[in-house]
């Protein structure tokens, strides 16, 4: 097994067509494209951003959480273009219980091209091998059928539902809970 990840240096991950790398303030334009788009934010991350200050704050918060050894989130880029087109990572890491929670989003122009599938496979493999995870969790709005289908395609099992878990745009929304165990990943 590879050395256990310890936050000393930010890991860059690669797939055949993607580079997952550390975010910097230079990535603000790419992150803006994602977080200011109402269609991207509608089902998973709240209201669209209204200004670039929100983007800069997000990037700084992601970097600080990494420095505090709390979470790791990558910017997704195509190998052919350094602009960030998505965000992906572990929003928390419970070291005692060997589990972490995934979060991700992608610029709309790149939807349904297999990009997030590739990125998730790389991050899941990192979690099971370098972070010694036994369980990776993810949740998605019950209305986000594409995200649910993607998680299922990767082997995640739906474990439950949190009914009316969050309130947005005058409506309560259900949240579906998914998980993937290391032994399930290893069996694929």
Query: pLDDT, tens digit, for every residue of 80-98?
Result: 999 999 999 999 999 999 9
The H or E element spanning position 56 is: helix 52-67
- pLDDT above 60: residue 114: yes
- pLDDT above 80: residue 1: no
Domain ranges, ordered by start, for the chain: 13-136
Give the model confidence (pLDDT) of 48-68 as tens digits.
999 999 999 999 999 999 999
- pLDDT above 90: residue 47: no
Sign of the CA dihedral running 27, 166, 91, 178: negative
- pLDDT above 80: residue 180: yes
More confident residue, 18 or 4: 18
The two tokens of residue 174 are: 């259900």
List the CATH code of the domain at 13-136: 3.40.630.30
Across 33-48, average pLDDT: 87
């Amino acid at each position: 097994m590879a050395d256990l990840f310890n936050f000393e240096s930010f890991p860059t991950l690669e797939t055949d067509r993607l580079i997952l790398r550390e975010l910097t303030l230079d990535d603000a334009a790419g992150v803006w494209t994602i977080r200011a788009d109402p269609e991207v934010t509608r089902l998973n991350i709240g209201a669209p951003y209204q200004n670039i200050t929100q983007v800069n704050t997000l990037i700084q918060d992601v970097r600080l959480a990494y420095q505090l050894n709390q979470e790791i989130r990558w910017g997704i880029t195509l190998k052919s273009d350094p602009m960030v087109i998505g965000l992906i990572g572990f929003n928390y890491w419970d070291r005692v219980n060997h589990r972490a929670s995934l979060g991700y989003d992608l610029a709309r122009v790149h939807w349904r091209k297999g990009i997030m599938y590739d990125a998730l496979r790389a991050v899941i493999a990192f979690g099971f091998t370098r972070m010694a995870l036994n369980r990776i969790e993810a949740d998605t709005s019950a209305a986000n059928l594409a995200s649910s289908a993607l998680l299922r395609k990767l082997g995640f099992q739906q474990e439950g539902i949190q009914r009316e878990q969050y309130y947005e745009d005058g409506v309560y929304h259900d949240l579906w809970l998914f998980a993937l165990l290391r032994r399930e990943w290893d069996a694929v």
